[in-house]
Amino acid sequence: MRNRIGIVVGCILIMLWCLLPVAWVISLSFKSEAAITNGSPGFFPADGAGAGWDNYRAVWENDQFRRAILNSIGISLIATMLSVIVATLAAYAIARLEFRGKKAVLTIALAIAMFPVVSLVGPLFDMWRAVGLYDTWPGLIIPYMSFTLPLAIWTLSAFFREIPWEMEQAAQVDGATSWQAFRKVIVPLAAPGVFTAAILTFFFAWNDFVFGISLTSTENARPIPASLSFFVGSDPFNRPASLLAAGAVIATIPIVVIVLIFQRKIVAGLTSGAVKG
Protein backbone atom coordinates (compact mmCIF):
# COMPACT_ATOMS: atom_id res chain seq x y z
CA MET A 1 0.00 0.00 0.00
CA ARG A 2 2.77 2.40 0.97
CA ASN A 3 4.43 1.47 -2.28
CA ARG A 4 1.36 2.41 -4.27
CA ILE A 5 1.13 5.78 -2.61
CA GLY A 6 4.79 6.38 -3.33
CA ILE A 7 4.31 5.55 -6.98
CA VAL A 8 1.30 7.84 -7.30
CA VAL A 9 3.06 10.72 -5.60
CA GLY A 10 6.16 10.17 -7.72
CA CYS A 11 4.13 10.13 -10.91
CA ILE A 12 2.34 13.33 -10.00
CA LEU A 13 5.64 15.05 -9.25
CA ILE A 14 7.14 13.99 -12.55
CA MET A 15 4.04 14.96 -14.47
CA LEU A 16 4.03 18.39 -12.82
CA TRP A 17 7.69 18.83 -13.59
CA CYS A 18 7.19 17.94 -17.25
CA LEU A 19 3.83 19.50 -17.92
CA LEU A 20 4.10 22.76 -16.01
CA PRO A 21 6.00 24.58 -18.78
CA VAL A 22 3.51 23.29 -21.32
CA ALA A 23 0.62 24.45 -19.18
CA TRP A 24 2.31 27.81 -18.76
CA VAL A 25 2.74 28.25 -22.48
CA ILE A 26 -0.94 27.55 -22.93
CA SER A 27 -1.77 30.01 -20.17
CA LEU A 28 0.43 32.69 -21.78
CA SER A 29 -1.19 32.18 -25.13
CA PHE A 30 -4.54 33.27 -23.71
CA LYS A 31 -3.28 36.44 -22.11
CA SER A 32 -3.20 39.77 -23.88
CA GLU A 33 0.14 41.23 -24.80
CA ALA A 34 -0.35 44.27 -22.63
CA ALA A 35 -1.13 42.12 -19.62
CA ILE A 36 2.12 40.21 -20.05
CA THR A 37 4.17 43.38 -20.45
CA ASN A 38 2.64 44.76 -17.27
CA GLY A 39 3.30 41.53 -15.44
CA SER A 40 0.57 38.97 -15.02
CA PRO A 41 1.57 36.44 -12.40
CA GLY A 42 -1.58 34.28 -12.24
CA PHE A 43 -2.06 31.07 -14.13
CA PHE A 44 -5.47 32.20 -15.32
CA PRO A 45 -5.61 35.63 -16.94
CA ALA A 46 -6.69 38.35 -14.54
CA ASP A 47 -9.88 40.31 -15.22
CA GLY A 48 -9.55 42.23 -18.45
CA ALA A 49 -6.15 40.68 -19.20
CA GLY A 50 -7.54 37.72 -21.13
CA ALA A 51 -7.17 37.74 -24.88
CA GLY A 52 -9.49 34.85 -25.70
CA TRP A 53 -8.59 33.44 -29.08
CA ASP A 54 -7.16 36.75 -30.32
CA ASN A 55 -3.56 35.59 -30.18
CA TYR A 56 -4.34 32.45 -32.12
CA ARG A 57 -6.22 34.43 -34.70
CA ALA A 58 -3.34 36.86 -35.03
CA VAL A 59 -0.81 34.10 -35.44
CA TRP A 60 -2.97 32.26 -37.90
CA GLU A 61 -3.50 35.36 -39.99
CA ASN A 62 0.23 35.83 -40.26
CA ASP A 63 1.17 34.68 -43.76
CA GLN A 64 4.73 33.87 -42.83
CA PHE A 65 3.61 31.61 -40.03
CA ARG A 66 1.07 29.80 -42.17
CA ARG A 67 3.76 29.24 -44.75
CA ALA A 68 6.11 27.99 -42.00
CA ILE A 69 3.56 25.41 -40.89
CA LEU A 70 3.29 24.16 -44.45
CA ASN A 71 7.09 24.02 -44.72
CA SER A 72 7.46 22.16 -41.44
CA ILE A 73 4.81 19.60 -42.23
CA GLY A 74 6.09 19.04 -45.75
CA ILE A 75 9.75 18.84 -44.87
CA SER A 76 9.24 16.68 -41.79
CA LEU A 77 6.93 14.23 -43.51
CA ILE A 78 9.13 13.84 -46.57
CA ALA A 79 12.27 13.47 -44.45
CA THR A 80 10.50 10.91 -42.24
CA MET A 81 9.21 8.91 -45.15
CA LEU A 82 12.50 8.80 -47.03
CA SER A 83 14.45 8.10 -43.89
CA VAL A 84 12.18 5.23 -42.87
CA ILE A 85 12.20 3.68 -46.32
CA VAL A 86 15.97 3.83 -46.64
CA ALA A 87 16.47 2.71 -43.04
CA THR A 88 14.11 -0.24 -43.47
CA LEU A 89 16.00 -1.52 -46.48
CA ALA A 90 19.39 -0.91 -44.90
CA ALA A 91 18.42 -2.46 -41.58
CA TYR A 92 17.01 -5.51 -43.33
CA ALA A 93 20.27 -6.01 -45.17
CA ILE A 94 22.23 -5.59 -41.97
CA ALA A 95 20.04 -8.01 -40.05
CA ARG A 96 19.83 -10.70 -42.71
CA LEU A 97 22.81 -10.61 -45.01
CA GLU A 98 26.42 -11.40 -44.39
CA PHE A 99 28.54 -8.92 -46.27
CA ARG A 100 31.94 -7.37 -45.91
CA GLY A 101 32.01 -4.10 -44.06
CA LYS A 102 28.77 -4.70 -42.15
CA LYS A 103 30.43 -3.68 -38.90
CA ALA A 104 31.89 -0.64 -40.61
CA VAL A 105 28.47 0.50 -41.82
CA LEU A 106 27.03 0.24 -38.33
CA THR A 107 29.96 1.96 -36.67
CA ILE A 108 30.04 4.81 -39.17
CA ALA A 109 26.29 5.25 -38.83
CA LEU A 110 26.70 5.56 -35.08
CA ALA A 111 29.58 7.99 -35.50
CA ILE A 112 27.39 10.22 -37.67
CA ALA A 113 24.68 10.21 -35.05
CA MET A 114 27.19 11.32 -32.42
CA PHE A 115 28.38 14.30 -34.47
CA PRO A 116 27.31 17.61 -32.94
CA VAL A 117 24.80 19.19 -35.26
CA VAL A 118 26.22 22.67 -34.79
CA SER A 119 29.62 21.71 -36.14
CA LEU A 120 28.10 20.82 -39.50
CA VAL A 121 26.05 23.92 -39.99
CA GLY A 122 28.94 26.02 -41.30
CA PRO A 123 30.15 23.64 -44.00
CA LEU A 124 26.59 22.83 -45.02
CA PHE A 125 25.77 26.52 -45.35
CA ASP A 126 28.69 26.94 -47.75
CA MET A 127 27.97 23.78 -49.67
CA TRP A 128 24.27 24.40 -50.03
CA ARG A 129 24.88 27.90 -51.34
CA ALA A 130 27.35 26.52 -53.86
CA VAL A 131 25.04 23.82 -55.17
CA GLY A 132 21.86 25.87 -54.91
CA LEU A 133 20.16 23.95 -52.14
CA TYR A 134 20.22 26.89 -49.76
CA ASP A 135 16.74 27.94 -48.67
CA THR A 136 15.00 24.99 -50.33
CA TRP A 137 13.09 21.99 -48.94
CA PRO A 138 15.69 19.43 -50.06
CA GLY A 139 18.31 21.57 -48.35
CA LEU A 140 16.67 20.71 -45.02
CA ILE A 141 15.42 17.24 -45.87
CA ILE A 142 18.90 15.92 -46.64
CA PRO A 143 20.53 16.89 -43.33
CA TYR A 144 17.48 15.69 -41.39
CA MET A 145 17.72 12.33 -43.12
CA SER A 146 21.41 11.93 -42.53
CA PHE A 147 21.03 12.67 -38.83
CA THR A 148 18.03 10.42 -38.27
CA LEU A 149 19.06 7.48 -40.47
CA PRO A 150 21.61 6.01 -38.05
CA LEU A 151 19.17 5.80 -35.18
CA ALA A 152 16.45 4.47 -37.46
CA ILE A 153 18.79 1.81 -38.86
CA TRP A 154 19.86 0.70 -35.41
CA THR A 155 16.31 0.52 -34.11
CA LEU A 156 15.00 -1.31 -37.14
CA SER A 157 17.80 -3.82 -37.46
CA ALA A 158 17.16 -4.80 -33.85
CA PHE A 159 13.53 -5.38 -34.77
CA PHE A 160 14.38 -7.38 -37.87
CA ARG A 161 16.73 -9.58 -35.91
CA GLU A 162 13.87 -10.52 -33.63
CA ILE A 163 11.77 -11.83 -36.49
CA PRO A 164 12.41 -15.54 -36.97
CA TRP A 165 14.08 -16.50 -40.21
CA GLU A 166 11.41 -19.08 -40.66
CA MET A 167 8.74 -16.47 -41.34
CA GLU A 168 10.57 -15.53 -44.49
CA GLN A 169 11.39 -19.06 -45.46
CA ALA A 170 7.76 -20.02 -45.02
CA ALA A 171 6.77 -17.16 -47.30
CA GLN A 172 9.31 -18.25 -49.90
CA VAL A 173 8.08 -21.83 -49.81
CA ASP A 174 4.54 -20.48 -50.13
CA GLY A 175 5.59 -18.94 -53.42
CA ALA A 176 6.85 -15.48 -52.55
CA THR A 177 9.85 -13.83 -54.10
CA SER A 178 12.36 -12.33 -51.67
CA TRP A 179 10.81 -8.92 -52.26
CA GLN A 180 7.29 -10.18 -51.66
CA ALA A 181 8.39 -11.96 -48.50
CA PHE A 182 9.96 -8.73 -47.30
CA ARG A 183 6.98 -6.56 -48.14
CA LYS A 184 4.15 -8.85 -47.10
CA VAL A 185 5.64 -10.58 -44.08
CA ILE A 186 8.71 -8.88 -42.71
CA VAL A 187 7.67 -5.24 -42.90
CA PRO A 188 4.25 -5.80 -41.31
CA LEU A 189 5.93 -7.76 -38.54
CA ALA A 190 8.46 -5.00 -38.00
CA ALA A 191 5.71 -2.37 -38.03
CA PRO A 192 6.26 -1.34 -34.39
CA GLY A 193 9.90 -0.75 -35.24
CA VAL A 194 9.03 1.12 -38.40
CA PHE A 195 6.68 3.41 -36.49
CA THR A 196 9.20 3.95 -33.71
CA ALA A 197 11.76 5.00 -36.27
CA ALA A 198 9.18 7.21 -37.97
CA ILE A 199 8.29 9.00 -34.74
CA LEU A 200 11.92 9.59 -33.83
CA THR A 201 12.67 10.97 -37.27
CA PHE A 202 9.61 13.16 -37.29
CA PHE A 203 10.47 14.58 -33.85
CA PHE A 204 13.96 15.43 -34.93
CA ALA A 205 12.83 17.14 -38.10
CA TRP A 206 9.93 18.96 -36.49
CA ASN A 207 11.85 20.26 -33.51
CA ASP A 208 15.05 21.18 -35.30
CA PHE A 209 16.01 24.81 -34.95
CA VAL A 210 19.68 25.03 -35.87
CA PHE A 211 19.37 23.82 -39.47
CA GLY A 212 16.06 25.58 -39.86
CA ILE A 213 17.45 28.98 -39.03
CA SER A 214 20.87 28.59 -40.68
CA LEU A 215 19.99 27.01 -43.98
CA THR A 216 16.99 29.18 -44.83
CA SER A 217 16.61 32.85 -45.50
CA THR A 218 13.00 33.34 -46.58
CA GLU A 219 9.63 31.73 -45.97
CA ASN A 220 10.51 29.58 -48.96
CA ALA A 221 11.63 26.77 -46.65
CA ARG A 222 11.70 28.22 -43.16
CA PRO A 223 10.15 25.80 -40.65
CA ILE A 224 8.08 26.76 -37.59
CA PRO A 225 10.81 26.89 -34.88
CA ALA A 226 12.86 29.24 -37.03
CA SER A 227 9.83 31.20 -38.02
CA LEU A 228 8.84 31.77 -34.40
CA SER A 229 12.14 33.48 -33.75
CA PHE A 230 11.24 36.01 -36.43
CA PHE A 231 8.11 37.04 -34.62
CA VAL A 232 8.83 40.62 -33.75
CA GLY A 233 6.13 42.93 -32.61
CA SER A 234 5.99 46.68 -33.05
CA ASP A 235 8.44 47.25 -30.22
CA PRO A 236 11.81 45.51 -30.81
CA PHE A 237 12.58 45.59 -27.06
CA ASN A 238 9.30 43.97 -26.17
CA ARG A 239 8.84 40.60 -27.82
CA PRO A 240 5.25 39.53 -28.32
CA ALA A 241 5.32 36.69 -25.79
CA SER A 242 1.64 35.86 -26.06
CA LEU A 243 1.82 35.53 -29.83
CA LEU A 244 4.90 33.33 -29.52
CA ALA A 245 3.07 31.17 -27.02
CA ALA A 246 0.11 30.79 -29.34
CA GLY A 247 2.48 29.88 -32.18
CA ALA A 248 4.22 27.31 -30.00
CA VAL A 249 0.92 25.71 -29.06
CA ILE A 250 -0.10 25.47 -32.70
CA ALA A 251 3.30 23.96 -33.53
CA THR A 252 2.77 21.28 -30.90
CA ILE A 253 -0.58 20.10 -32.19
CA PRO A 254 0.68 18.09 -35.21
CA ILE A 255 3.24 16.29 -33.05
CA VAL A 256 0.61 15.28 -30.54
CA VAL A 257 -1.66 14.04 -33.31
CA ILE A 258 1.10 12.05 -34.99
CA VAL A 259 2.24 10.48 -31.74
CA LEU A 260 -1.31 9.47 -30.89
CA ILE A 261 -1.72 7.85 -34.30
CA PHE A 262 1.62 6.06 -34.29
CA GLN A 263 1.54 5.06 -30.66
CA ARG A 264 -1.40 2.75 -31.21
CA LYS A 265 0.57 1.00 -33.91
CA ILE A 266 3.56 0.61 -31.64
CA VAL A 267 1.62 -0.73 -28.72
CA ALA A 268 -0.28 -3.30 -30.77
CA GLY A 269 2.15 -6.15 -30.14
CA LEU A 270 2.17 -7.45 -33.66
CA THR A 271 4.90 -9.97 -33.22
CA SER A 272 3.10 -11.87 -30.48
CA GLY A 273 2.19 -15.33 -31.64
CA ALA A 274 4.62 -15.53 -34.51
CA VAL A 275 6.05 -18.63 -32.99
CA LYS A 276 5.14 -20.64 -29.97
CA GLY A 277 6.81 -19.11 -27.03
Partner 1 sequence: MAAITMNHIVKQYGDGFPAVNDVSIDVADGEFMILVGPSGCGKSTLLRMIVGLEDITSGDMMIGEKRVNDLAPRERNLAMVFQNYALYPHLTVYENIAFPLRLAKKPDAEVDKLVREASATLELDEHLQRKPGNLSGGQRQRVAMGRAIVRQADAFLFDEPLSNLDAKLRGQMRTEIARLQRRLGITTVYVTHDQTEAMTLGDRVAVLKRGVLQQLATPRELYENPGNLFVAGFIGSPPMNFLPATVEGNQVKLPFGSVEIPAENAARAAGRGLLIAGIRPEHFEDASVAAAEGRRGSTFSATVDAVEWLGNETYAYIPFEAPAEVKQQLQQLEKDLDGEAMRTQLVVSLDGASRITEGHDAEIWVDGRRIHLFDPASGENLTVDRARAGRIPGAEVAAG
Distance of closest approach, residue 172 Cβ to partner 1, in angstroms = 4
As beta bridge partners, residue 50 has 31
Distance of closest approach, residue 89 Cβ to partner 1, in angstroms = 20
Considering the complex, state which of residue 57 and residue 184 has its C-beta at the smaller distance from partner 1: 184
Inter-axis angle of helices 63-96 and 54-61, nearest 10: 80
Kindly state the DSSP code that residue 46 receives in the 8-state scheme.
P
CA dihedral angle for residue 195, residue 200, residue 201, residue 203, rounded to 10 degrees: 120
Contacts to partner 1 from residues 168-187, by CB under 8 A: 169-177, 180, 184-185
Tell me how many degrees the CA angle 219-224-225 measures, rounded to the nearest 5: 120
Distance of closest approach, residue 152 Cβ to partner 1, in angstroms = 21
Contact between 267 and partner 1 (CB under 8 A)? no
- The residue range among 29-37, 120-128, 162-170, 246-254 that interacts with partner 1, by the rule CB under 8 A, is 162-170
User: Which parts of 115-190 fold into alpha helices (H)?
Assistant: 117-131, 137-162, 165-173, 178-181, 187-189
Residues contacting partner 1: total by CB under 8 A: 25
Contact between 88 and partner 1 (CB under 8 A)? no
Considering the complex, state which of residue 194 and residue 248 has its C-beta at the smaller distance from partner 1: 194
Contact between 162 and partner 1 (CB under 8 A)? no
From residue 182 to residue 211, the character string flagging contacts with partner 1 as x (rule: CB under 8 A) and all else as - is: --xx--xx-x--------------------
Contact between 21 and partner 1 (CB under 8 A)? no
Decide: residue 236, CB within 10 A, 0-12 exposed, 13-18 middle, 19+ buried: exposed
Using alpha carbons, select from 199, 202, 220, 191 the residue that is nearest to residue 70.
220
At 79, which amino acid appears?
Answer: A
Please give the residue ranges that form the binding site for partner 1 (CB under 8 A): 164, 166-167, 169-177, 180, 184-185, 188-189, 191, 270-276
